[in-house]
Amino acid sequence: MSKIYAVANQKGGVGKTTTAVNLAASLGYFDERVLLIDLDPQGNATTGSGIDKLEVEWSGVDVLLGEVSLEQAIQKIAGSGYDLLAANGDLTAAEVELFSVEDRLHRLSVILQAVDPHYSYVLIDCPPTLNILTLNAFVASHGVIVPLQCEYYALEGLTALMETMDRVRETENPALQLMGIVRTMYDARNRLSVEVSEQLLTHFEDRVYDTVVPRNVKLAEAPSYGRPIIYYAPSSRGAYAYVDLAAEILERAEKEGHSDATE
């Protein structure tokens, strides 16, 4: 059974897409079968995977509106360790048209059942806003991974995200949980970064991943070359951080699996 994680934060510019793309590649590095779903109309995860979003034949909008199957729309990303459901600005149309579709919040959940046996992990790069696409991702997911930049407004945005998750849990998906918070763009020389990090650890304890993603020039450059960091700059601090994050996620998943088996 696939583990389906939404990568989300209702605040933009926190390293959300960077985390989605590089975590997908890093899980693939550990020989996991990974599907990355770009559910953001900006299509940044698509571009960061080396795909021209303006040249995509079939994208998420076509799948969500039932025009093609998910299997038809998935693209193999050569040399990156994962498959991709691409996105572009056309996905905005899905936001409008889904409002008139029956059971509209469960569209993605039903669609993903078709590929469940083929992938061990499905990562969904969500829009940085609360809309019907984000809600579809939350309803379809087992958990949410939250990339969070350690700055003043970060905790405020996290509170809003947790409230959204609580509403989805109460009404649509009781199994939804916070998988973990990833501290991104971290600068240990910045006192505010350290203080926010300490607050996160105090309030969320083991829901904060041990891995910290530093500010890194190579991480910022990689999307313009359409390559995940572990293939663009494998010896960079950013590459090491995302490989460590993938290892930590796999370790937690194994422990939780053993825990479930003994209950």
Model confidence at 154: pLDDT above 80: no
Cα four-point dihedral sign 20, 26, 28, 33: negative
pLDDT digits over 38-74, tens only?
999 999 999 999 999 999 999 999 999 999 999 999 9
For the CA atoms of 202, 126, 43, 105, the dihedral, rounded to the nearest 10 degrees, stands at -170
The pLDDT of residue 260 is: 53
The pLDDT of residue 132 is: 92
Looking at per-residue pLDDT, the higher value among 137 and 261 belongs to 137
Q: Averaged over 19-24, what is the pLDDT?
A: 98
Confidence at 155, pLDDT banded by 50, 70, 90: confident
Q: Residue 79 region, left (φ>0) first, then alpha (ψ -120 to 50), else beta? A: left
Looking at per-residue pLDDT, the higher value among 35 and 116 belongs to 35
How high does pLDDT run on average in the chain?
A: 91
Looking at per-residue pLDDT, the higher value among 18 and 92 belongs to 18
Taking the C-alpha atoms of residue 139 and residue 169, their distance in angstroms, rounded to an integer, is 8
The pLDDT of residue 159 is: 85
> In this structure, what token pair is assigned to residue 193?
């970064």
Looking at per-residue pLDDT, the higher value among 153 and 158 belongs to 158
Taking the C-alpha atoms of residue 259 and residue 263, their distance in angstroms, rounded to an integer, is 6
- Closest to 50 measured CA to CA, from 238, 221, 224: 224
Asked if residues 122 and 37 have their Cβ atoms less than 8 Å apart, the reply is yes
Confidence at 262, pLDDT banded by 50, 70, 90: very low
Parallel, antiparallel or unpaired: strands 143-149 and 177-186: parallel
Any idea which residue has 């190579």 for tokens? 218
Please, what's the largest Cα pairwise distance for the chain? Answer: 51
Angstrom distances, CA of residue 43 to CA of 38, 143, 196: 7, 22, 30
pLDDT digits over 176-192, tens only?
999 999 999 998 888 88
Confidence at 261, pLDDT banded by 50, 70, 90: very low
Angstrom distances, CA of residue 183 to CA of 54, 136, 214, 225, 233: 32, 25, 8, 24, 20
Model confidence at 173: pLDDT above 80: yes
39 contact partners, CB below 8 Å, separation of at least 6: 60, 87, 91, 108, 124, 125, 126, 127, 133, 134, 136, 137
Report all structural domains of the chain as residue ranges with CATH numbers, in order of start.
Answer: 3-262 (3.40.50.300)
